[in-house]
Amino acid sequence: MTATGAWLFWPAALLPAAAWALVVMFFRDPPRQAEGDGFLAPADGKVVDVTPVGADGRLRTEGTRIGIFMSLLDCHVNRSPCAAAVAAIEHHDGGYLDARRPEASQANESATILLTHTRGGRQFQVVVRQIAGLVARRIVTDLRVGQQLAAGQRIGMIKFGSRVEVLLPAELIGRIGVQVGQTVRAGRTVLVHPPGQEAPS
């Protein structure tokens, strides 16, 4: 092999290895340990939205929506924010706007997971939404109606990033533990501390 051929061979040989490494990184599923009691992040990424919501068709009461943007480099596995039973799974057709844009929450294709969470002898509805984006258009929801979930349990993924939201009713919110711009980890970072268990400020 000539010197020129050798220079051309090594980059060509490294490309498949680099591509394989990226695929392994995209679909990694590391074990996670919660950093405290409370409602956990459903996805790795950056918090892009902490917004009060009214009694819409999903939450049915006033509460707060926390949106997390997943980049191509984030772990793509989504996890349950709390112990709960799966009440319903709904698919919604839509577009593929950049998931960082606020309007993507309503405009993009999505899967809505309705969870029934029991606390203090009462049942509350918690909503998790997997939202497609400009690049990530493959939503996977590995659940069935009636399934019992542990906090932090795997519920699916959005292949190659995008956006995941969790909607919590006001009665479950003692203190919000994250802010816009903060990096969070699925099944590890506590997004919301419930009443009576607020972390010290």
Q: Give a yes or no: residue 199 inside a domain.
A: no
Q: How far apart are alpha carbons 199 and 25 in whole angstroms?
A: 33
**Token code pair at residue 163:** 């956006």
Do 53 and 1 have their domain in common? no
Number of separate domains in the chain? 2
- pLDDT on residue 167: 96
- pLDDT on residue 1: 52
Do 156 and 69 have their domain in common? yes
Q: Give a yes or no: residue 145 inside a domain.
A: yes
Do 37 and 22 have their domain in common? no
- pLDDT on residue 23: 53
- pLDDT on residue 109: 82
Q: How far apart are alpha carbons 133 and 161 in whole angstroms?
A: 8
Q: Give a yes or no: residue 2 inside a domain.
A: yes
Q: Give a yes or no: residue 198 inside a domain.
A: no
Do 101 and 177 have their domain in common? yes
Q: Is 162 a catalytic residue?
A: yes
**Token code pair at residue 35:** 């950093």
Element (DSSP H or E) covering residue 3: helix 3-26
- pLDDT on residue 177: 96
Catalytic pick from 80, 105, 110, 162? 162
Q: Give a yes or no: residue 162 inside a domain.
A: yes
One-letter amino acid at 98 equals D
Domain CATH code at residue 117: 2.70.70
**Segments forming the whole domain that contains residue 48:** 32-193
Q: Give a yes or no: residue 135 inside a domain.
A: yes
pTM: 0.81
- Tell me the DSSP string of 6-54: HHHHHHHHHHHHHHHHHHHHHT-------SSSSEEPSSSEEEEEEEEE-
- pLDDT on residue 38: 94
Do 22 and 116 have their domain in common? no
Do 5 and 67 have their domain in common? no
What parts of the chain have a pLDDT lower than 70? 1-32, 56-57, 96-101, 103-104, 133-137, 160-161, 198-201
Q: Give a yes or no: residue 201 inside a domain.
A: no
Do 13 and 75 have their domain in common? no
Do 187 and 102 have their domain in common? yes
Q: Give a yes or no: residue 155 inside a domain.
A: yes
- pLDDT on residue 182: 98
Do 155 and 129 have their domain in common? yes
Do 65 and 98 have their domain in common? yes
